[in-house]
Amino acid sequence: MKTIKILAVLMAISGSSVFAQDTLNTKMNELINTDQKNAVQNNFEREKQERAKADAEKRSKEAKQAESKKAEVVKADQAKPADAPMSDADRAMMDYMTPGDMQKLLAEQVGEWNEKVTFWMSPDAPPMVSTAKCTTTMILGGRYQKSVSKGKMMGMDFEGQGTIGYDKAIGKFQSMWIDNFGTGIMVMEGKYNPNTKIFTLSGKTVDPVTRQELDARETMKMVSNTEMLMEMYVKRDNVEYKTMEIVFTRVVKKK
Q: Would you list the domain boundaries of the chain? A: 2-79, 100-250
pLDDT of residue 222: 93
CA distances from 50 to 43, 53, 62, 63, 90 (A): 10, 5, 18, 20, 62
pLDDT (0 to 100) of residue 17: 46
Q: How far is CA 104 from CA 37, 107, 161, 195, in A?
A: 86, 5, 20, 17
- Distances, alpha carbon 24 to alpha carbons 2, 27, 32, 38, 61, in Å: 17, 5, 12, 21, 55
pTM, two decimals, is 0.65
How far apart CA 150 and CA 156 sit, in angstroms, is: 11
Does residue 207 or residue 2 have the better pLDDT? 207
How many separate helices (H) and strands (E) can be counted in the chain?
Answer: 4, 10
Q: Is the pLDDT of residue 36 over 50?
A: yes
pLDDT higher than threshold 50 for residue 32: yes
Distance CA 115, CA 109 (A): 14
Of the spans 11-15, 16-20, 160-164, which averages the highest pLDDT?
A: 160-164
Pick the CATH number of 100-250 from 2.40.128.20, 1.10.1740.10, 2.10.10.90, 1.25.40.10: 2.40.128.20
Segment 12-38 shows an average pLDDT of: 60
Comparing 12-21, 34-43, 174-183, 234-243, the range with the smallest average pLDDT is: 12-21
Q: What is the three-class DSSP state of 234?
A: strand
10 in Cβ contact with 22 (< 8 Å): no
Q: Name 222's bridge partners.
A: 228
Greatest alpha-carbon pair distance for the chain in Å reads 146
Tell me what pLDDT residue 235 has. 94
Closest CA to 201 of 161, 163, 169: 163
pLDDT attached to residue 19: 47
The Cα–Cα gap between 162 and 146 comes to: 6
Range list of β-strands (E), the chain: 111-119, 128-139, 144-153, 156-167, 172-179, 186-193, 198-207, 212-224, 227-236, 239-250
What is the C-alpha to C-alpha distance for residues 240 and 217, in angstroms, rounded to an integer? 9
Average pLDDT, the chain: 86
Res. 80: pLDDT tops 90: no
Which distant-in-sequence residues (6+ apart) come within 8 Å of 214 by Cβ? 204, 205, 206, 207, 234, 235, 236
